[in-house]
Structure 1
Amino acid sequence: MRSTFMGLETAKRALFTQQSALHTTGHNIANANTPGYSRQRVNFGTTTPFAPAAMNRPQLPGQMGTGVEANSIQRVRDSFLDIQYRQESNKLGYWDSKSSAISEMENIVNEPTTNGLGAVMGEFWQSLQDLSVYPENDGARNVVLERGQSVVDTFHYLNDSLNQIKDNIGNEISVSLDSVNSLLQQIASVNSQISDVEPHGNIPNDLYDRRDTLVDELSGYIDIRVTSIKSEGDPADEAEGLYNISIVGANGKEEILVANKDYNQLGFSNGSGKLTTSTPDDVNQITIFSSDGKEIASKKLPLSDENGNLLFSQGRVRGLIESYGYSYQDSTGTTQVKGTYPEMLDNLDRLAYSFSQTFNAVHEKGIDLQGNTGQSFFGDLGTDHENASKRISMSDITSKEVAASTTTNADGDVNAGDGKNAVNLSNIQNWLMNETVTLDGFDGAESINLNDYNRLETASMNSFYEGVIGKLGVQGLQANRLAGNSEILKQSVEEKRMSVSSVSLDEEMTNMIQFQHAYNAAARNITMVDEMLDKIINGMGLVGR
């Protein structure tokens, strides 16, 4: 037989449950502007009906409901959208870092403008053409010297500026790895807190939000895979468990970074166990360290294969490494350096070397204003083009020693009206550097084997530099386009995720009214049951008195 007070208990459960829903609604409203917060809801469920199934159950025509209870308080979240968001965040981190690095390079190179290296070299070639018309004019000769010094200064400026930006990117790599390691540590710490709560059947929604915010941020730096592991003890069905996080390489290989409460770190090893980076030659693998900073020898992540193709995980860190540069062993065992900034610096070195050494070779064939054979116009760079854009310099040459002529008079004096070697010098810009060129204006056959100074392969100086600038422009355009596309896709997924998880004040106000009415109705039900009990207790058994 059911209890006389069964209706009172049913109404009381309704009061408490609706009160829980109102409290949860208030929590949502309070966190409407909290970053990373996911709205929460109370999962209502009916209580065990009367009579329960049993051998001694009363003979009733059916079961009678006993009310409602709050089964759990659960956050509203779509895990599929979380995966999508992290994928787009990862792409954006990569292309944004690439775009930023290339944009800084474009600002330094400053092409095509009237202030870039191309314009400065163009003015130098023009000064030589002017000298060929007035080879005896001291003013024209001084202009050639000044224009030559401008070319040298421009090479120095480009080398210094690009190296400075490259060093800044190297520092940014270290800072990014520090951020990654900090995030890994925080995620492991939140995992630990969750593992203390879930075994008791509680659902730590706010800790889930904090952990997912950290994972979202981490996904911008490296490509990660998140798997959920059930907590020990007796967790609720809605409990989300602990996160295990792996870094995913471009070849699909995974390495565990966070395992429950434990975490590892990423970094470059310089032999002392510290996380550091200095030059592209040192950047050839990422090493995994334990949480106490000890290198795990079995977990070294090579950055690239023997063809120089990066194997490291997609994301911001990879974009920075590609810009800064990295080294690898090719199929012959030779160490090679690859990367946006090292390649640009190498191209400038090749151009500076080929330009200065070829110019010297032609200049030394000519005759100066004093009738002497020409000397070196630029300083000798030896046979190695490495760092030539920094080492290039003007030789100690005067205006009278500019060898603009090719012939002398019968008495041995310079032919003042002969500026043919200045023409040869101005034509250097268009010579294909893999050929032997015959010089004009000399009595005998004078030629230059350009292969002796060629570091540009089959191109001329003009076409080589135009190709370098053209490639930079294409890379910049691609990086900007894909960064923009990734930003749009990330924003689109974020809007979908917010439509599911974010707090809508209008919706919460509607829920508040709904729960308030239900609470009032439950209270009215208690009043009704109270009146019934009052009639039974105080109004029955009075007949005949």
Structure 2
Amino acid sequence: MVFRALETAFRGLMAQQRAVDTANHNIANANTPGFARQRVQLVPSMPYTVPAFNRSGLAGQVGTGVLVASITRVRESVFDLQYRVQSQALGEASAQVDAYAQIEAVFNEPTEAGLGALLDRFWRAWQAVGNQPEDLAARAALVQDAATLATNLNRMRRQLGELQADAAMKLSLQVSEVNSIAQRLAALNQQIVAALATGQTPNDLMDQRDLLLDKLANFTGVTIRTLPNGAVNLSLGGYPLVDQDQWFPLAVQVSGGTASIRWQGTNSPVALERGSLQALLDTHNVILPGLVQKLEAIRDALANEVNALHSTGYGLTDPPGPPPGRPFFVVTPSGDLEIEATIAANPQLIAAADAADEPGNNTLARAIAELRSKLVLNGNTATINDFYNTLVAEVGGASQTAQVTRENQRSLVQAIDRQRQEIMSVSLDEEMANLVKFQQAYSAAARAITAVDEMLDRIINGMGLVGR
């Protein structure tokens, strides 16, 4: 019986030691990202049944101490699921905000250097030539304002194209990050399954896996399925991204100006569920090409309408006879808008008149200046200036919507995370209290062993000496 008491006290000593170790582990990881506090589950060990043929007045079972049943993570999977679902929308909105911030920098509105102000200066320059068609200074100013307008329009087109290339690069970087996360998740699955198979509880490995799942949610949503062996399988659009200890990489493909994400090796398209990857695809394939197309519509309308009138007129030095048919603007094979070379070199060739040898004739100059109010775009329902102003308003509105969505999603994600942290985060005050409690229990168990040791000493060394 004395030896059983020694074993009981020893079990208590070991159990409290595990509890102290767990409290120390929690304190050490109080600031570790993704760490969920751990708790020791203590249960009574199997009681000892006193053998007897008949029930007597003695207790039929005697307690044998305490055991550590498990060390569990304090974590709520419902909040994890909500956090990851809302993180998808936050990642998508954040990517949209970044994209529209760059687009707004390209448009640079409303400023004196913006395309809207340059269009106004261009029309006013034609009006000035119409007021004084023989004034060479007014003609030179028109060439300068037209060149500035064309240069700015070309710059905007090129910068939007650069943003499209930048979106493709960001897409590749984020897909590489997704592949890296998938590879690490597969490796963690292998370690977790191996640990569980030997009866261990790999809490820290599971925390690392959950942290990676949180990060993955910013890029895209995945379907998560936990297997009986402890591994988690991830799938995108019904196809596996992680299957236990295997992972299947993604790749970015850009063809014909359209980007797509495909399964590496099979070339099958990947079905994304929101997240920053989807926002980058939309930016590359829809938003930026649409803006470039509208700028090209402004370019073409400007060139076509001005040239249609200008080619029927005469410059100051043009001889009598048929009009020279000289265009004012030229669209190069690369898509740039330029002033016709001879006009850029000699502003006297600007066709302000509808007849030759009439220096004061301003008919065409005034007609071109009046193009400002002509409905030539959007199915002949908008002027060039109105079309551009509407385009700027659409960009600003979309940017504002993305910002509002991001702030709303950020608040929601933070609220959910606060609920998660209230459950899983380490409270230093609580852990210190637990540490004192377990330390006192450990000391009591050690004192019990000392008492049993004294009892054994009395039995072994003190009994049987009487009468010697």
State the TM-score, normalizing by the size of structure 2. 0.92
Contact 1:152-1:394 at 8 Å conserved across structures: no
Matching residue of 2:251: 267
Q: What is the aligned length?
A: 461
Structure 1 residue 429 displacement after superposition: 1.9
Q: State the alpha-carbon separation in 2 of the partners of residues 493 and 394 from structure 1.
A: 62
Matching residue of 1:205: 203
Structure 1 residue 425 displacement after superposition: 0.9
1:254 correspondence with 2:247: no
1:527 correspondence with 2:453: no
Matching residue of 1:396: 342
Q: Map residues 204-223 of structure 1 onto 2, 5 A cutoff.
A: 204-223=202-221
1:414 correspondence with 2:358: yes
Matching residue of 1:477: 400
Matching residue of 1:90: 88
In structure 2, relative to structure 1, the CA distance for the partners of 1:47 and 1:457 (3 Å cut) is farther
Determine which of 245, 249, 262 is the counterpart of 1:287.
262
Q: State the alpha-carbon separation in 2 of the partners of residues 55 and 423 from structure 1.
A: 121
Determine which of 375, 399, 405 is the counterpart of 2:353.
405
Q: State the alpha-carbon separation in 2 of the partners of residues 413 and 24 from structure 1.
A: 100
1:145 correspondence with 2:89: no
Q: State the alpha-carbon separation in 2 of the partners of residues 312 and 525 from structure 1.
A: 62
Determine which of 404, 422, 428 is the counterpart of 1:505.
428
In structure 2, relative to structure 1, the CA distance for the partners of 1:375 and 1:286 (3 Å cut) is same
Q: Map residues 12-51 of structure 1 onto 2, 5 A cutoff.
A: 12-51=10-49
For structure 1, which segment, 507-516 or 495-504, has the greater mean C-alpha deviation from structure 2 after superposition? 495-504
Structure 1 residue 496 displacement after superposition: 2.0
Q: Map residues 102-501 of structure 1 onto 2, 5 A cutoff.
A: 102-231=100-229, 241-247=230-236, 253-268=237-252, 276-277=253-254, 279-281=256-258, 283=259, 285-289=260-264, 295-296=265-266, 299-301=268-270, 312-325=272-285, 339-370=286-317, 373=323, 375-379=326-330, 388=335, 390-397=336-343, 398-406=346-354, 408=355, 413-416=357-360, 418-433=361-376, 457-501=380-424
Q: State the alpha-carbon separation in 2 of the partners of residues 19 and 380 from structure 1.
A: 82
Q: Deviations over 1:221-249 (max 9, x none)?
A: 11112111022xxxxxxxxx0010012xx
Q: Deviations over 1:427-463 (max 9, x none)?
A: 2122111xxxxxxxxxxxxxxxxxxxx6765321111
Q: State the alpha-carbon separation in 2 of the partners of residues 166 and 56 from structure 1.
A: 88
Q: State the alpha-carbon separation in 1 of the partners of residues 467 and 80 from structure 2.
A: 75
- Counterpart of 1:356 in 2: which secondary structure? helix
Q: State the alpha-carbon separation in 2 of the partners of residues 182 and 224 from structure 1.
A: 15
Q: State the alpha-carbon separation in 1 of the partners of residues 431 and 256 from structure 2.
A: 55
Structure 1 residue 92 displacement after superposition: 1.3
Structure 2, gaps ≥5 residues long: none
Q: State the alpha-carbon separation in 2 of the partners of residues 524 and 455 from structure 1.
A: 91
Percent of matched pairs sharing the same residue = 34
Matching residue of 1:332: none
- Counterpart of 2:317 in 1: which secondary structure? coil
In structure 2, relative to structure 1, the CA distance for the partners of 1:58 and 1:168 (3 Å cut) is farther
- Counterpart of 2:254 in 1: which secondary structure? coil
Contact 2:93-2:403 at 8 Å conserved across structures: yes
Contact 1:350-1:456 at 8 Å conserved across structures: no
Higher relative contact order (CA 8 A, sep 6+): 2
Q: Deviations over 1:272-323 (max 9, x none)?
A: xxxx436533x3x53223xxxxx236x434xxxxxxxxx6321111110100
Q: State the alpha-carbon separation in 1 of the partners of residues 55 and 136 from structure 2.
A: 123
Structure 1 residue 62 displacement after superposition: 4.3
Q: Deviations over 1:297-355 (max 9, x none)?
A: 6x434xxxxxxxxx632111111010011xxxxxxxxxxxxx11100001001110011
Structure 1 residue 532 displacement after superposition: 4.3
Contact 2:342-2:349 at 8 Å conserved across structures: no
- Counterpart of 1:69 in 2: which secondary structure? strand
Structure 1, gaps ≥5 residues long: 232-240, 248-252, 269-275, 290-294, 302-310, 326-338, 434-453
Q: State the alpha-carbon separation in 2 of the partners of residues 427 and 401 from structure 1.
A: 20
Q: In structure 2, what residue type is equivalent to 1:300?
A: P
Contact 1:405-1:415 at 8 Å conserved across structures: yes
Q: In structure 1, what residue type is equivalent to 2:210?
A: D
In structure 2, relative to structure 1, the CA distance for the partners of 1:134 and 1:183 (3 Å cut) is same
Contact 2:41-2:72 at 8 Å conserved across structures: yes
Structure 1 residue 61 displacement after superposition: 3.9
Contact 1:98-1:319 at 8 Å conserved across structures: yes
Contact 1:350-1:455 at 8 Å conserved across structures: no
Structure 1 residue 35 displacement after superposition: 2.2
Q: In structure 1, what residue type is equivalent to 2:328?
A: F
Aligned alpha-carbon RMSD (Å): 2.4
Q: In structure 2, what residue type is equivalent to 1:428?
A: L
Q: State the alpha-carbon separation in 1 of the partners of residues 141 and 171 from structure 2.
A: 45
